Amino acid sequence: MTFLACRIYKQENENGDKVVFHRLEQVALESLCDGEVVVRVHYSGVNYKDALAATGKGAILKKFPLNGGIDFTGIVESSTDERYKKGQAVLVNGCGLGEVHDGGLSEYARVPADWIIPIPDGLTMKECMILGTAGFTAGLAIHRMLVNGQTPDKGPIVITGASGGVGSNAISMLTGLGYQTIAVSGRREFFEYLSSLGADKVCSVEELNLSNRPLDKGIFGGAVDSVGGNLLSQILAHTNLWGNVASIGLADTHEYNSTVFPMILRGVSLLGVSSTNCPMALRTEIWHRLGADLKPQHLDKILTEEVKLKDVSAVFEELLNRKRYGRTIVNCL
């Protein structure tokens, strides 16, 4: 049996340089990485990480060739593990999928049984991929903030890189939990979209009027930050007593310069969020919360396009060129 997949290669070009590229091609089941469960993929998502991997703009893959796609939902086709039966609806995200193991941008996937999560109550397979790794990351960030004592009375939560998948989901989740949110984006064409998700305020970084002092007036209860760099340092300096700042990305840079003042004088916590290697017990808990109290109120608005697997290449370039917002999902049927 062969089927369509987005296969990523690393080969030497005529100049002797190693180049990474992808192509849509027919793949045999036998060529996939090992696993106890074969899944007929229904939906996958296009995350920024997927675009970096498929175009070679980021060193995401640890082995080649490999099918791209860091998440998917689908129906179990076969299983040698008694926990999963043919016809069962399941999802996989993270765990090395699309990095060291053949991913979800494919009509079929074969994965270890320990990576699988049955579709949670309150979610359909399609909704799971509207959330996808982006929604899972937002949910994980908010979960960590709540466990660490975040409450609405501490002040509004600022969401940077707000028009992306993580930011869009975070706004809708936090709004549903009763938090005030400040959506920060450099793309004014998406301000109306962010307001429609429930953001109480939408603005640019400049309009936040942040200082570069190591500690300044408290403005925010916390943050979900996907930018890093100087902006993260400034947000920490303006976070109120016992607030939490979740770091989930590096859209600006992986570096940031700060002081310990927000931590030792205001009890501010900087929380790291890693979706790839999240322990399975916590991963399962987050997915169940995503079908319940953390389920975004505006999934229909967060989904901006559904494309066929054969058309996914154009999405990679548009995502890298900042022409997309919200979530794009891939129909693999």
pLDDT the model gives residue 299? 95
**Tokens found for residue 62:** 């640890």
Mean pLDDT for the stretch of residues 121-135 = 97
Domains and CATH numbers, the chain: 2-119+299-331 (3.90.180.10), 133-272 (3.40.50.720)
pLDDT bin (cut points 50, 70, 90) of residue 250 is confident
Nearest to 222 by CA among 150, 173, 170, 278: 150
* Structure confidence at residue 153 as a pLDDT band (50, 70, 90): very high
Query: Cα separation of 317 and 297, whole Å?
Result: 29
| Burial of residue 279 (number of CB atoms within 10 Å: 0-12, 13-18, 19+) | exposed
pLDDT digits (tens, 9 = 90+) for 46-91: 999 999 999 999 889 999 999 999 999 999 999 999 999 999 999 9
Residue 96 has pLDDT above 80, yes or no: yes
